[in-house]
């Protein structure tokens, strides 16, 4: 509210005169005044207006907070009233301007008369002085063409007056001001020979100030008359004595040359060539701006001369190549702008194309070393790029690839010119230069293609590799290919969909086999190149290969590709040619070329017996396939309690053999690993077939949990039981490396930039009828064939918002196509919905489960379903933003190090204890689907549309899944899409084929083990969809799913190993409780990070528009949610910041982190987000924090702290405040944290009476009995208030990017994220208690197994119930929580002391009190503080939230991007009311998204009035 009022007020009254749009013509000094100032200051780039704007904005942003808070809704008056106030002002200013222009015109006539009269030197000097003064303050309306034409000859004549230097200076200054005020006057000056006169004065350079003024005048004239300046010799005149001037004047001189060079005539003489030597010398100047100007001149000159080889040779004689390479070598990419650097590379492209001298010089100067650095350090553009990349707007990599292609000539028979022949002859005679060139670039080019670069970059890299292979002799080629695994590289290229890439890959393979067949034939077979070539010829074999080979060659050459010449200009065949696009006629590759080359390679280089599948397989592939088959056979093997051990032994044996093969002496190629079926078999076995199902929900039976648990235990035992080898040599690490290699080879997730479409204003009829800043899809909705329940859509073609989710489109379509016959007659959808919605508008129970799980309004941006809500709703992924420091080690720790990724909430299995923990976004999404999924099914080209995606994502995904990789953006937006609809079935039953489980019966002890270890976390591995881009039959899906399983096993390896030890103890394989101790050497989380996918996500996140509108490819959110481990922690943090806070705040948080402790943080935040200062007392930190959160917890700006009676403020005191608050929360005596007295020490950095709780395992809530209101003498209500405050502090720290000096335990993080804890988690925060409970549990399981046996002896049974040779009864344990004697576990009379009969119940009660019931209220208090924003709205039901949005904004849904994209922003202010506010209703201004709330007496009253207002206030607008 403060910001709005401030803006409105500034516009009306407070802006300085030069910033008022309505009065700019009168009060803003003309730019000629700036020129005058620049002349006197010798600083042509200093612009006073910029300084004035800076000071104005600074003063505006530095308003006191009190002014912000005093502003209320009164500031938002009627827009009409504002216009009415502005109207008289415009009239006044217009009249004043008219009078001023008339006055200036009269003065100019008088001055012109005085200059023409020739009253001697003094009179002319006075007239010129007055003329300069008038021109400095007048504007274009004060001058006419007649006046400018009259002044021009007089000024030119006086500029030639060599007898009086002052007259010359003022005359030339008058020319400068005249061009500045009236740009068309430059034509009059040229007609009267002003340019030759100015050049003459520059070449004479008798007076420095006159010469400087000449440069100023020439710069103005050259803007509109560059050709005249060129013909008059202005280039050399400006450059001749440039070294004598200051830097600022040199910049003006170069600006003149740049203006001329930008419009060089295409024909005629080339007088600019004589300037090349001088320009080359200036390339080494120390001033960056000057160097960029020089580079621009040279780039334009080279473009003018590139058509003539003679002119290109002339350029090279002036050391141009040497100077340009020196600029590129000096790490200029960090000093000069990227477009200029790209232009210099383009200059080398033109020179090397037309000049043999340039070609030779570049090889001799080792240009490959420079280009290698560019390719290896530049941020590659992944995915699909727009066609303008080919048409000239090229990025740096594209320019480098152009140069590389020019440096590797390829003659084409008769068409080869003499320059190409000379180049080939040179390389043939200088093999050493070619070898150095290849050794520098070949591995980098392979790395670029493997990184997932876009199709243009891939084509360019493959083209260079192909030429290198052709030009290299066999011995040199052998050395070159040693730098990369070329067979594996080619196998990966064959998975691409474009026939241009296939053709290049086949050409490279053919040349290698031709030159080095004996060396590479076997590796081509091992890496799958042979199988791929065979599949290209026989597409039916593609289905037999697990490698996704592109077999559809013919569709790429259909007639639709030849529909227009425009398409051919964008063909990859010409992407790196120097041929003008107008000469391009068609694609160079016809439909038979690829097949013929593949057939030639197969016939000439591969023996016929290889065609037979058995003989063509390598021994490694055959062995792995045998093991894969054996593993698959175990899945269908019947299992009962008697055969479990044998089953596990077979599984262990097969796994062991597989790992021996993967880590054997003979390496296993990626093709062999994928083609063997090992991945699919492992995944199918470990998941027990659940990977083929959708979201998995377990019933109360433990059958499947037991199966999963035992298999995971065997797997963990094999992969984590090694203690004598390095971590990187662990079997799991080796398996992960193979999977990562396969993922990099196969995945082809695209990066889609927003500049693929022009951002323009358009009107989207569907779904909400609003203006958007991007094009809309044209859609025709058609009723499905045979659909009788729905009517036809009346409209023909509708404009649909591309970033709207499908449920929103359905919401628009449903009322228009549905009618139902009822007892009241025919009712349309809207009438039916009103009948259903009205009962739901009554206030709901705020304490209900549904109220807790429902969040704030459903966001339309399904692309970011869990991160685009209000800035307060970050509870599920908060921990990735807060940094916590271990007090005992001094090292910074984040939640990523605790293996709590951001997507833990999406993976969470919805058990009863976690249903209430869903994020607000996910809850609203569930309600959305629940309300609307049974209405319509939408289809596009026969494919049912995924409701979790936007329409843009759906269409984009279908295009990407088509048989060609090239995308035409114009067709994407111009095409009319036909979407068919039909009514959905009332209920969707699971496909019975998906239920592949076998009913198994297991012992009670097995079920007990499954129960105590909380195996619900297994379900989290299967419960969420990976990404809608993938088919479940795809090998990429298999790899991702197996990586997900392995990451889960690695994360829970301690649980699994502990459970295996308990089982071994129960089965008698281990009789010592000390052996229950587990030391697990888990694999580092970095092993699971995919550098390729991380790079792609980083590239996609650079496009803030797609992120805010929901236009990101569906794989981004899908994989970040389901497989966060694939991305680096930094990438996930950036994704969270951008999605949760928006691009602006996310960027500020990133900057504040990188500049923490520097002054730049303050400068950055002051210009970005509003700040609030708060006065705190050091002696009452927690009380101050409470007041701060009460007042500003919902404030979206940055909070800054100022201490009472201290003068310091800003970042330093604010960070110290968060540190002090962190320490206060850790003091002993608060009753918040678990811990014994031995873990309390006196802090040396705080007062002596302060005692800080230090726990090496992190803080965990202190248990308190649900029946007790006090905790260790402290009122429990006070403890809960502190947890609420702590939640608020943590949330605000995340929002503002602050650091908290507090260490939470991993188990507490799990609770915050809504994950269940088990007995095994207790050891993470209380090792002694956890270990004892685990030993008790092992005794209990052992007892149950003996009870199940047929024969059991009482003596043996008694021995099993002993704890370390001591009877349970002799331990004298009572039913109180260990360490907390006031916490009574049970009030039953038979549960006083622990004995053999009730030991199991004792363990269960202790576990429950420790991690469930005893801390539930504390955790809920923390989360309530964390999620305090918009608390009432979170309690609304789905229909009520929609009604609230309709009431406040006029639309029942948020725009793409959620609240962050709402324009204007949602503003809530206090409404002035009578003495009885509880009787008044809220009011809104929908045009400003402005909600006015009376100061109600209670939250319940506010909710009641809000519900009444949003239900009864719809459909009418009145004054409020």
Q: Which tokens hold the place of 1460?
A: 């962050």
Which of 130, 134, 149 is closest to 101 using CA atoms?
134
> What's the rounded Cα separation, in Å, for the pair 202 and 238?
7
Q: Does residue 571 have an active-site annotation?
A: no
Which of 752, 1363, 845 is closest to 1114 using CA atoms?
752
> What's the rounded Cα separation, in Å, for the pair 84 and 1327?
75
DSSP string, 1222-1271: HHHHTBTTSS-B---GGGEEE-SSS-TT-EEE--TT-B-BPP--TT-SEE
C-alpha 1132 chain-centroid distance = 8
Q: Are 1100 and 792 in contact (CB under 8 A)?
A: no
The 3-state DSSP class for residue 752 equals coil
Q: Which tokens hold the place of 465?
A: 């590799």
Which of 478, 437, 337 is closest to 396 using CA atoms?
337
DSSP 8-state assignment for residue 998: P
Q: Are 1375 and 1394 in contact (CB under 8 A)?
A: yes
Q: How far is CA 943 from CA 640, 810, 946, 952, in A?
A: 43, 16, 9, 15
> What's the rounded Cα separation, in Å, for the pair 757 and 387?
11
319 torsion bin: left (phi>0), alpha (psi -120 to 50), beta (else): left
Q: What are phi and psi of 335, to 5 degrees?
A: -115, -35
> What's the rounded Cα separation, in Å, for the pair 758 and 1034?
34
Where is 824: in which H helix or E strand?
A: none
Where is 1192: in which H helix or E strand?
A: helix 1181-1192
Longest dimension (CA), the chain: 136
CB atoms within 10 A of CB 787: 17
Query: Which residue shows structure tokens 């013509």?
Result: 25
> What's the rounded Cα separation, in Å, for the pair 304 and 288?
25
**Dihedral sign (CA 197, 198, 200, 205):** positive
Length of the chain: 1520
> What's the rounded Cα separation, in Å, for the pair 1071 and 1050?
27
> What's the rounded Cα separation, in Å, for the pair 872 and 853?
15
> What's the rounded Cα separation, in Å, for the pair 164 and 210?
11
> What's the rounded Cα separation, in Å, for the pair 1146 and 557?
45
Q: Are 275 and 237 in contact (CB under 8 A)?
A: no
Which residues does 428 contact at the CB level (< 8 Å), separation at least 6? none
Q: Which tokens hold the place of 194?
A: 């002003």
Q: Are 1429 and 873 in contact (CB under 8 A)?
A: yes
> What's the rounded Cα separation, in Å, for the pair 26 and 40?
24
Q: Are 680 and 1037 in contact (CB under 8 A)?
A: no
Q: Are 578 and 1065 in contact (CB under 8 A)?
A: no
The 3-state DSSP class for residue 884 equals strand
Which residues does 953 contact at the CB level (< 8 Å), separation at least 6? 863, 1110, 1111, 1112, 1113, 1114
The 3-state DSSP class for residue 636 equals coil
> What's the rounded Cα separation, in Å, for the pair 1350 and 1353?
10
Which of 681, 700, 654, 530 is closest to 602 using CA atoms?
530
Active-site entry in 79, 789, 1362, 1487? 1487
Active site residues: 1487
């Amino acid at each position: 509210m403060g910001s709005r009022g401030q803006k409105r007020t500034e516009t009306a009254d407070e802006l300085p005169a030069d910033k008022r749009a309505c009065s700019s013509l009168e009060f803003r000094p003309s730019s000629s005044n700036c020129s005058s100032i620049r002349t006197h200051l010798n600083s042509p780039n200093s612009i006073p207006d910029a300084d004035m704007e800076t000071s104005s904005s600074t003063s505006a942003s530095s308003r006191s907070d009190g002014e912000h808070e005093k502003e209320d809704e009164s500031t938002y008056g009627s827009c009409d009233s504002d216009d009415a106030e502005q109207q008289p002002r415009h009239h006044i200013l217009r009249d004043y301007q008219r009078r001023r222009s008339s006055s200036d015109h009269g003065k100019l006539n008088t001055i012109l008369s005085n200059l023409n009269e020739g009253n001697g030197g003094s009179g002319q000097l006075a007239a010129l002085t007055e003329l300069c003064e008038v021109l400095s303050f007048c504007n274009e309306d004060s001058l006419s063409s007649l006046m400018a034409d009259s002044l021009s000859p007089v000024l030119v004549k006086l500029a030639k007056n060599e007898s009086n230097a002052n007259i010359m200076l003022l005359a030339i200054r008058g020319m400068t001001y005249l061009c500045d005020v009236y740009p068309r006057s430059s034509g009059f000056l040229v007609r009267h020979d002003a340019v030759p006169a100015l050049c003459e004065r520059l070449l004479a350079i008798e007076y420095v100030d006159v010469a400087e003024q000449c440069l100023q005048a020439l710069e103005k004239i050259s803007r509109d008359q560059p050709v005249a300046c060129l013909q008059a010799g202005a280039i050399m005149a400006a450059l001749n004595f440039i070294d004598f001037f200051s830097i600022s004047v040199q910049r003006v001189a170069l600006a003149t040359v740049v203006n001329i060079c930008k419009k060089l005539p295409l024909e005629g003489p080339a007088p600019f060539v004589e300037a090349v030597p001088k320009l080359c010398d200036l390339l080494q100047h120390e001033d960056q701006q000057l160097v960029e100007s020089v580079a621009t001149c040279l780039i334009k000159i080279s473009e003018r001369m590139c058509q003539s080889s003679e002119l290109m040779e002339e350029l090279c004689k002036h050391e141009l190549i040497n100077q340009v390479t020196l600029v590129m070598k000096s790490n200029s990419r960090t000093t000069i702008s990227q477009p200029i650097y790209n232009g210099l590379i383009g200059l080398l492209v033109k020179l090397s194309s037309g000049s043999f001298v340039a070609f030779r010089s570049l090889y001799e100067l080792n240009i490959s070393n420079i280009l290698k650095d560019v390719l290896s350090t530049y941020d590659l553009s992944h995915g699909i790029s727009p066609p303008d990349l080919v048409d000239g707007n090229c990025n740096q990599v594209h320019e480098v690839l152009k140069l590389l292609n020019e440096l590797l000539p390829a003659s084409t028979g008769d068409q080869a010119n003499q320059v190409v022949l000379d180049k080939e002859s040179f390389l043939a005679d200088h093999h050493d230069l070619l070898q150095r060139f290849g050794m520098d670039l070949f591995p980098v080019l392979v790395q670029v293609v493997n990184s997932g670069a876009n199709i243009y970059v891939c084509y360019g890299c493959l083209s260079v590799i192909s030429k290198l292979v052709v030009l290299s002799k066999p011995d040199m080629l052998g050395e070159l290919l040693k730098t990369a695994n070329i067979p594996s590289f080619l196998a990966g290229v064959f998975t691409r969909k474009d026939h241009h890439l296939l053709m290049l890959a086949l050409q490279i393979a053919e040349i290698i086999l031709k030159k080095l067949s004996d060396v590479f034939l076997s590796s081509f077979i091992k890496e799958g190149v042979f199988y791929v070539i065979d599949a290209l010829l026989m597409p039916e074999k593609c289905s037999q290969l697990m490698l996704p080979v592109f077999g559809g060659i013919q569709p790429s050459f259909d007639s639709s590709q030849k529909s227009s010449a425009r398409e051919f200009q964008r063909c990859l065949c010409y992407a790196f040619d120097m041929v003008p696009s107008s000469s391009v006629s068609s694609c160079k590759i016809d439909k038979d070329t690829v097949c013929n080359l593949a057939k030639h390679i197969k016939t000439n280089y591969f023996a016929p017996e290889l065609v037979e599948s058995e003989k063509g397989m390598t021994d490694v592939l055959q062995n792995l396939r045998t093991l894969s088959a054996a593993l698959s056979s175990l899945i269908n093997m019947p299992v009962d309690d008697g055969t479990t051990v044998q089953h596990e032994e077979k599984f262990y044996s097969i796994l062991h053999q597989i790992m021996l093969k993967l880590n054997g002496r003979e390496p296993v190629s990626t093709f062999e690993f994928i083609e063997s079926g090992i991945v699919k078999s492992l995944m199918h076995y470990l998941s027990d077939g659940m990977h083929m199902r959708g979201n998995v929900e377990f019933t109360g039976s433990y059958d499947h949990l037991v199966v999963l648990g035992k298999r995971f235990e065997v797997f963990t035992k094999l992969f984590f039981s090694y203690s004598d080898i390095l971590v990187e040599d662990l079997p799991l690490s080796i398996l992960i490396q193979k999977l990562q290699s396969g993922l990099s080879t196969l995945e082809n997730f695209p990066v889609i930039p927003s500049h693929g479409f022009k951002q323009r204003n358009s009107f989207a009829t569907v779904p909400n009828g609003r203006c958007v800043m991007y094009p809309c899809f044209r859609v025709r909705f058609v009723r499905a064939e045979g659909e009788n329940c729905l009517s036809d859509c009346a409209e023909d073609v509708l404009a649909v918002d591309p970033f709207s989710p499908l449920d929103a489109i359905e919401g628009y379509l449903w009322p228009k196509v549905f009618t139902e016959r009822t007892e009241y007659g025919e009712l349309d959808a809207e009438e039916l919905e009103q009948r259903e919605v009205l009962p739901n508008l009554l206030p709901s129970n705020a304490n209900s489960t549904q109220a807790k799980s429902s969040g704030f309004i459903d966001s339309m941006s399904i692309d970011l379903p869990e991160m685009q809500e209000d800035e307060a709703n970050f509870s599920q992924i908060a921990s990735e933003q807060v940094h916590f420091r271990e007090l005992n080690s001094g090292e910074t720790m984040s939640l990523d190090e605790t293996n709590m990724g951001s997507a833990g909430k999406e993976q969470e299995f919805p058990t009863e204890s976690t249903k209430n923990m869903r994020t607000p976004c996910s809850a609203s999404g569930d309600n959305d689907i629940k309300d609307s999924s049974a209405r319509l099914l939408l289809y596009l080209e026969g494919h049912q549309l995924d409701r979790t995606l936007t329409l843009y994502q759906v269409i984009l995904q279908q295009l990407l899944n088509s048989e060609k990789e090239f995308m035409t953006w114009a067709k994407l937006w111009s095409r009319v899409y036909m979407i068919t609809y039909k009514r959905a079935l009332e209920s969707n039953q699971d496909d019975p084929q998906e239920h592949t489980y076998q009913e198994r019966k297991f012992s009670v002890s097995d079920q007990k083990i499954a129960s105590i270890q909380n195996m619900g976390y297994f379900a989290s591995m299967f419960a969420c969809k990976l990404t809608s881009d993938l088919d479940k039959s795809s090998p990429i899906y298999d790899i991702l799913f197996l990586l997900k399983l392995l990451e889960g096993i690695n994360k829970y390896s301690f649980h699994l190993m502990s459970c295996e030890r308990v089982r071994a103890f129960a089965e008698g394989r281990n009789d010592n409780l000390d052996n229950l101790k587990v030391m697990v050497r888990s694999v580092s989380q970095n092993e699971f990070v995919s550098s390729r996918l991380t790079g792609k996500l980083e590239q996609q996140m650079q496009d803030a528009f797609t992120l805010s509108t929901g236009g990101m490819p569906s794989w981004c959110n899908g994989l970040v949610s389901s497989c966060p481990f694939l991305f680096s922690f930094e990438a996930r943090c950036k994704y969270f910041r951008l999605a949760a806070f928006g691009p602006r705040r996310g960027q500020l948080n990133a900057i504040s982190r990188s500049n923490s402790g520097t002054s730049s943080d303050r400068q950055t935040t002051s210009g970005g987000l509003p700040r609030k200062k708060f006065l705190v007392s050091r002696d009452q930190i927690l009380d101050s924090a409470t007041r701060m959160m009460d007042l500003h917890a919902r404030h979206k700006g940055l909070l800054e702290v100022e201490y009472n009676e201290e003068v310091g403020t800003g970042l330093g005191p604010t960070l110290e405040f968060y540190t002090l608050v962190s320490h206060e929360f850790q003091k002993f005596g608060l009753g918040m944290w678990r811990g014994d007295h031995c873990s309390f020490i006196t802090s040396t950095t705080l007062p002596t009476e302060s005692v800080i709780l230090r726990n090496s395992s992190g803080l965990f809530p202190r248990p308190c009995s649900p029946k007790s209101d006090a905790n260790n003498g402290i009122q429990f209500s006070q403890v809960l208030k502190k947890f609420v405050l702590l939640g608020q502090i943590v949330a605000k720290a995340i929002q503002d990017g602050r650091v908290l000096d507090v260490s939470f335990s991993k188990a507490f993080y799990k609770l915050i994220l809504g994950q269940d804890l088990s007995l095994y988690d207790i050891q993470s925060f209380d090792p002694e208690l956890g270990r004892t409970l685990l030993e008790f549990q092992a005794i209990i399981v052992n007892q149950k197994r003996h009870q199940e046996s047929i024969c059991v002896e009482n003596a043996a049974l008694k021995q099993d119930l002993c704890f370390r040779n001591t009877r349970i009864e002799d331990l004298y344990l009572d039913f109180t929580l260990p360490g907390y004697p006031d916490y009574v576990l049970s009030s039953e009379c038979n549960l006083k002391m622990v004995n053999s009969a009730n030991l199991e119940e004792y363990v269960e009660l202790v576990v429950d009190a420790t991690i469930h019931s005893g801390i539930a209220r504390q955790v809920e208090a923390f989360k309530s503080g964390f999620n305090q924003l918009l608390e009432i709205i979170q309690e609304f039901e789905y229909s009520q939230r929609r009604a609230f949005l309709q009431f406040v904004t006029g639309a029942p849904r948020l725009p793409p991007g959620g609240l962050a994209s709402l324009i204007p922003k949602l503003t809530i202010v206090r409404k002035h009311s009578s003495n009885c506010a509880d009787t008044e209703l809220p009011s809104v201004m929908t045009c400003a998204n402005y909600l006015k709330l009376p100061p109600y007496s209670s939250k319940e009253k506010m909710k009641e009035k809000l519900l009444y207002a949003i239900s009864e206030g719809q459909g009418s607008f009145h004054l409020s």
